[in-house]
């Protein structure tokens, strides 16, 4: 059986900390995949989900309420099992704002009221989890070997799925990306749920209802999403084994799908075209592959680079949106990056791109993702360039977020659409100007201002960037920086003194703006 949060909290190494679960509704039976310790508040992107995260509370004690709320939100989005915070000393108790955020986002928060060595906790608990994982892997590998044997003997999808269902004691179903049932199987003695339905939660792989846990595993074949494995795990059955076995069965089920329903020529051509774009293949190869994927060689297009917590889920949403709008497209999932090439109307590519950006911002669903849309390519031969610019826009966004002050930090949750043309200056600076030349240019124009910020912990550079990006609109800049207009005027006067006077109406304005944009680049 999986090791639950309740089991871990009851283990002597953690029971000695006198743990108290604060978050209402926290599930003691929630499985824990690993125990990790960190004081870093930006740890969420490095986690995979299912962790019990131990925190000594030192950084939380000095963090702002906004930073603590973002910390809780990002951990909840990552799907960790629980956050355990040690109280006492610099952090006498868990801040109320953290507990409120945890309640809002459904994160279990455990207060450790006595000091215990985190190293000892991790060694003791993780050794148990490793033993559990080894057992799961051995059983999962046995399942995949048996499924492979069935496949080799020409078994049907139902028969292959029957092997998996029997080993994990759960109902399994293989469906197409559009929800059409392709095969299913149940273990001996299976009893159907009273409600008889799987619901939206099951489709997202998060559902828990009527004593059942729903798990969803995507089945890609040659970069094309061919199906989804839906596992219905009853109460009392090892959910951890079901998850591991489902993940290990991906390759076998992909081969089975390929054997029973090979992808159409159009899907294969689209995947091959996108692989060529990703590898920056020669122009003649792209033009050769494009017609089979529905892209005449001279079709104007853009390429979007998408980073998401659930890329396959977002892929289904975007492909459905583009299909319903009758917009030719081709997509490919490369590790955690989703790349989509989207055709533009030949008569008005610029207008079509503007409409596309606006439409993507309104895509249905709550997605934790960033979509960077590259500049328009005159034809598919320029697709790799459009992709490179889109990726660079994502990099620039990360750089800007790292350098932004806390009050201008925007929540990462939700879908963010980035226009690569908005970062054209940074892209040119990164690709066409050496780092030493950039640093020298920035120093010539902004040295006094940068020195002032460094010495006085001021934020004049950020103020100048916002003001210049707004078209020198003082009122708009004050709103974005959450400043009174008088405070904004005082800051601008100080900036002008340090930068040689008011740049408006002079040739220095463009140079100052370029230096301000390059100042945050590495």
> Domain with 64 in it: what CATH number?
3.40.1390.20
Within-domain flag for 111: yes
Three-class secondary structure of residue 199 per DSSP: helix
Note every long-range contact of 393-402, with CB atoms under 8 Å and residues 24 or more positions apart, other chains counting.
393/305, 393/418, 393/419, 393/420, 393/422, 393/423, 393/427, 394/305, 394/307, 394/370, 394/418, 395/430, 396/423, 396/426, 396/427, 396/430, 397/370, 397/372, 397/423, 399/426, 399/520, 399/521, 399/522, 400/520
* pLDDT tens digits, one per residue of 55-92: 998 889 888 988 999 999 898 888 888 899 999 888 89
Asked if 152 and 111 sit in the same domain, the reply is no
User: Domain range for residue 378?
Assistant: 265-426
Asked if 438 and 419 sit in the same domain, the reply is no
Q: What is the pLDDT of residue 197?
A: 43
Asked if 274 and 412 sit in the same domain, the reply is yes
The vertex-284 CA angle with 357 and 385, nearest 5°, equals 35
Using the 3D structure, point to which of 210, 240, 260 is the last residue of a domain. 260
Q: What is the CATH number of the domain that holds 441?
A: 1.10.10.2840
Nearest to 440 by CA among 345, 518, 383, 323: 518
Three-class secondary structure of residue 29 per DSSP: coil
Name the phi and psi angles at 48, rounded to 5. Answer: -105, -15
Within-domain flag for 123: no
Annotate 177-215 with b (16+ C-beta within 10 A) or e (fewer): beeeebbbbbbeeeeeeeeeebeeebbebebeeeebbbb
Within-domain flag for 63: yes
Place of tokens 């620039």: 396
Nearest to 105 by CA among 143, 155, 71: 71
Asked if 251 and 297 sit in the same domain, the reply is no
Within-domain flag for 493: yes
Asked if 140 and 248 sit in the same domain, the reply is yes
Nearest to 169 by CA among 149, 189, 195, 141: 189
Three-class secondary structure of residue 197 per DSSP: coil
| DSSP, residue by residue, 200-264 | HHHHTT--EETTEEEEEEEEEETTEEEEEEEEEEETTS-HHHHHHHHHHTHHHHHHHHHHHSPPP
* pLDDT tens digits, one per residue of 201-225: 433 343 444 457 788 888 877 666 6
Please name the residues in contact with 134: beta carbons below 8 A apart, sequence gap of 6 or more: none
Nearest to 171 by CA among 127, 230, 237: 230
Q: In what order do the strands lie in the sheet with 212-221?
A: 181-185, 171-175, 224-234, 212-221, 208-209
Q: Taking a C-beta distance cutoff of 8 angstroms, is the pair 460, 449 a contact?
A: yes
Asked if 147 and 250 sit in the same domain, the reply is yes
| Residuewise pLDDT in 10s, the chain (522 residues) | 467 788 888 889 988 988 888 865 545 567 788 889 998 888 888 887 788 899 998 889 888 988 999 999 898 888 888 899 999 888 899 999 999 888 888 888 999 999 989 898 888 888 888 877 787 888 888 888 999 998 888 888 999 999 999 998 999 999 876 567 889 999 988 877 654 444 434 333 434 444 577 888 888 776 666 788 999 988 778 788 888 888 889 989 988 887 776 666 567 778 888 888 988 889 888 888 888 787 888 889 999 998 887 777 778 788 888 877 778 888 888 767 889 999 999 889 999 999 999 888 877 665 678 899 999 999 999 999 999 999 999 988 888 777 666 555 554 557 889 999 988 888 888 888 899 999 999 999 999 999 998 998 888 998 998 999 889 999 999 988 888 888 999 999 999 999 989 999 888 899 999 999 898 888
Strands 212-221 and 415-419: unpaired
The vertex-15 CA angle with 10 and 18, nearest 5°, equals 125
Using the 3D structure, point to which of 206, 228, 260 is the last residue of a domain. 260
Q: How far apart are CA 183 and CA 44, in angstroms?
A: 37
Q: What is the pLDDT of residue 193?
A: 63
Nearest to 52 by CA among 76, 33, 71, 67: 33
Using the 3D structure, point to which of 220, 238, 260 is the last residue of a domain. 260
Within-domain flag for 126: no
Strands 109-112 and 20-21: antiparallel
Strands 369-373 and 415-419: parallel
Asked if 287 and 409 sit in the same domain, the reply is yes
Asked if 327 and 411 sit in the same domain, the reply is yes
Asked if 187 and 252 sit in the same domain, the reply is yes
Within-domain flag for 359: yes
Within-domain flag for 121: no
Tokens of 478: 């004050």
Q: How far apart are CA 267 and CA 220, in angstroms?
A: 12
Q: What ranges in 310-409 are assigned the alpha helix state H?
A: 311-324, 349-361, 383-403
Within-domain flag for 278: yes
Q: How far apart are CA 176 and CA 174, in angstroms?
A: 7
Asked if 180 and 208 sit in the same domain, the reply is yes
Calculate the alpha carbon distances from 278 to 287, 418, 427 in Å: 14, 20, 19
Q: How far apart are CA 191 and CA 13, in angstroms?
A: 39
Q: Taking a C-beta distance cutoff of 8 angstroms, is the pair 393, 401 a contact?
A: no
Asked if 253 and 400 sit in the same domain, the reply is no
Tokens of 107: 């994160």
pTM over 0.85, yes/no: no
Asked if 358 and 485 sit in the same domain, the reply is no
First-last CA distance in the chain: 49
Q: What is the CATH number of the domain that holds 208?
A: 3.30.450.40
Q: What is the pLDDT of residue 172?
A: 93
Tokens of 284: 């003649």
Q: DSSP code of 31?
A: B
Please name the residues in contact with 253: beta carbons below 8 A apart, sequence gap of 6 or more: 147, 160, 174, 219, 227, 229
State the sign of the Cα–Cα–Cα–Cα dihedral 161, 164, 170, 173: negative
For the chain, the domain total comes to 4
């Amino acid at each position: 059986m999986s090791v639950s949060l309740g089991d871990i909290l009851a283990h002597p190494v953690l029971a000695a900390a006198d743990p108290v679960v604060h978050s209402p509704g926290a599930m003691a039976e929630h499985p824990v995949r690993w125990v990790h310790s960190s004081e870093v508040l930006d740890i969420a992107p490095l986690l995979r989900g299912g962790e019990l995260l131990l925190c000594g509370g030192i950084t939380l004690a000095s963090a702002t309420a906004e930073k603590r709320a973002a910390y809780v939100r990002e951990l909840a989005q990552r799907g960790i099992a629980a956050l355990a915070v040690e109280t006492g000393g610099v952090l006498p108790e868990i801040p109320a704002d953290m507990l409120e955020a945890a309640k809002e986002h459904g994160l279990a928060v455990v207060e450790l009221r006595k000091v215990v060595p985190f190293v000892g906790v991790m060694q003791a608990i993780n050794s148990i989890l490793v033993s559990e994982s080894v057992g799961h892997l051995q059983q999962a590998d046995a399942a995949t070997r048996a499924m492979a044997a069935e496949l080799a003997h020409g078994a049907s999808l139902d028969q292959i799925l029957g092997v998996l269902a029997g080993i994990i004691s759960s109902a399994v179903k293989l469906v197409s990306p559009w929800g059409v049932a392709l095969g299913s199987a149940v273990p001996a003695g299976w009893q159907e749920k009273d409600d008889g339905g799987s619901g939206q939660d099951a489709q997202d792989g998060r559902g828990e209802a009527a004593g059942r846990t729903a798990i969803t595993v995507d089945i890609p074949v040659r970069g094309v999403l061919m199906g989804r494995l839906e596992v219905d795990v009853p109460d009392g059955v090892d959910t951890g084994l079901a998850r591991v076995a489902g993940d290990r069965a991906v390759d076998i089920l992909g081969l089975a799908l390929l054997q029973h329903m090979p992808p159409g020529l159009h899907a294969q051509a689209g995947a091959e075209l996108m692989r060529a774009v990703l590898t920056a293949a020669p122009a003649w190869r792209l033009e050769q592959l494009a017609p089979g994927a529905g892209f005449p060689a001279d079709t104007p297009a853009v390429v979007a680079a998408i980073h998401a917590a659930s890329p396959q889920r977002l892929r289904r949403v975007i492909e459905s949106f583009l299909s319903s709008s009758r917009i030719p497209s081709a997509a490919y999932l490369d590790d955690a990056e989703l790349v989509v090439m989207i055709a533009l109307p030949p008569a008005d590519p610029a207008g079509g791109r503007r409409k596309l950006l606006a439409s993507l911002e309104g895509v249905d669903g709550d997605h934790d993702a960033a979509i960077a849309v590259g500049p328009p390519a005159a034809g598919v031969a320029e697709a790799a360039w459009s992709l490179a610019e889109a990726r660079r826009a994502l990099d620039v966004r990360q750089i800007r977020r790292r350098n932004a002050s806390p009050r201008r930090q925007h929540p990462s949750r939700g879908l963010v659409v980035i226009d690569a043309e908005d970062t054209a200056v940074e892209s040119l600076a990164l690709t066409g100007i050496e780092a030493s030349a950039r640093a020298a240019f920035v120093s010539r124009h902004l040295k006094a201002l940068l020195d002032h910020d460094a010495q006085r912990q001021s934020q004049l550079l950020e103020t100048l960037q916002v003001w210049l990006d707004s078209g020198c609109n003082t009122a708009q800049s004050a709103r974005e920086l959450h400043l009174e207009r008088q405070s904004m005027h005082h800051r601008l006067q100080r900036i002008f003194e340090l930068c040689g006077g008011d740049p408006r109406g002079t040739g220095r304005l463009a140079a100052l703006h370029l230096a301000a944009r390059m100042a945050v680049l590495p």
